[in-house]
Structure 1
Amino acid sequence: MGAIEQMELYPSITEADKKAVRELLGNYPKMRLTVESLSRKESLTVKERQVYQEWSKLITELDMAINLILDDEVKKIIEHRFIKGRKYKFTVIQFQNHGMSVNTIDRRIDEGVKSIAETLKLCGILGVSWG
């Protein structure tokens, strides 16, 4: 009888994966605006068309990954910090006003980044060079 290979439901996430996700999330607002602007142009250069296609796919995958965050509190913090493009300082202030400590906010951000990384890894997005 052959050996049984066990597959992980969600792949292991490394610090490099989390760093890559943070970078993608940091670029998210600008990527979204760029895609929206390019979609309104009548004709695109070769480079613009390439950026539009790649970034549209990436934004779609990021949106899906964010929507798959199960904890609503984590999702709200991720949306505030990255999707709305708020600075870390303002995210901390916003959620401290809701009774959270800085450590709790940091843990929630890390949970969200990890959840997004898991989804992006499953979809084959992590490890791919974008733009």
Structure 2
Amino acid sequence: MMIAEKKTEAARILGEQLELFPSINESDIERTLFLLDKFVYMKMLVKDFEEHEQDLYQTDIEGETARRLSEEDTHADKTSNAIIFHQKRKWIYNEYKIAIRSIERAHRLIIDEDMRKAVHFRYLEGHKFMIALKFTYMSKSTFQRKLNAGVASITDTLKLMGILGREWKY
């Protein structure tokens, strides 16, 4: 009877204790896979924005991009719309930079070299599964296992960094 009471007390204490490192769930893994699938695109967009920011802004002002921000606008204030459009583009650029840096940091923190290679070729370089498999010289099942473990490791790190709590709707 005393043992059962002690287990209950221990369970109660564990239930009230805050997690130092929050555990990941299926939703976290789905968010990580979303970010990993978009990684190459985000990286290209960031590079393009850095190289052509002034050209994009000038095109917004002179072109028809900023004519109306939405179809519901009754009139168009092209100059202010161009500024709003450019600020939104810059905000997305900054969000993508945060995501890219966080994913790269989480990737570097993977301890197992094979896991790191699997994630690198599949997601950071953006190769299809079978092509990434050829780069690693692993069997298909080993590659899948290493890839899954690598994604779990990145998910864990991104959750600790607070990246998975952010809204990524673009």
TM range (shorter): 0.7 to 0.9
Matches within 5 A, 1:39-50: 39-43=50-54, 44=57, 45-50=86-91
Matches within 5 A, 1:1-131: 5=17, 7-8=19-20, 10-43=21-54, 44=57, 45-95=86-136, 98=137, 100-130=138-168, 131=170
Higher Rg: 2
Unaligned runs of 5+ in 1: none
Unaligned runs of 5+ in 2: 1-12, 58-85
RMSD (CA atoms): 1.6
Deviation at 1:47, TM superposition (A): 2.0
State how far apart, in whole Å, the 2-side matches of 1:127 and 1:106 are: 27
Deviation at 1:6, TM superposition (A): 5.1
Q: Deviations over 1:61-84 (max 9, x none)?
A: 111111110111110111111111
Q: Deviations over 1:34-59 (max 9, x none)?
A: 00110122434122111111111111
SS at match of 1:41: helix
* Number of residues of Structure 1 aligned to a counterpart in Structure 2: 125
Q: Which moved more, 1:107-116 or 1:34-43?
A: 34-43
Letter in 1 for 2:95: E
- Give the helix-richer structure, 1 or 2: 2
State how far apart, in whole Å, the 1-side matches of 2:115 and 2:107 are: 10
The ranges of structure 1 where at least 4 consecutive aligned residues each deviate by more than 3 angstroms after the TM superposition are none
User: Relative contact order, CA 8 A, sep 6+: which one is greater?
Assistant: 1
Identity, % of aligned pairs?
31
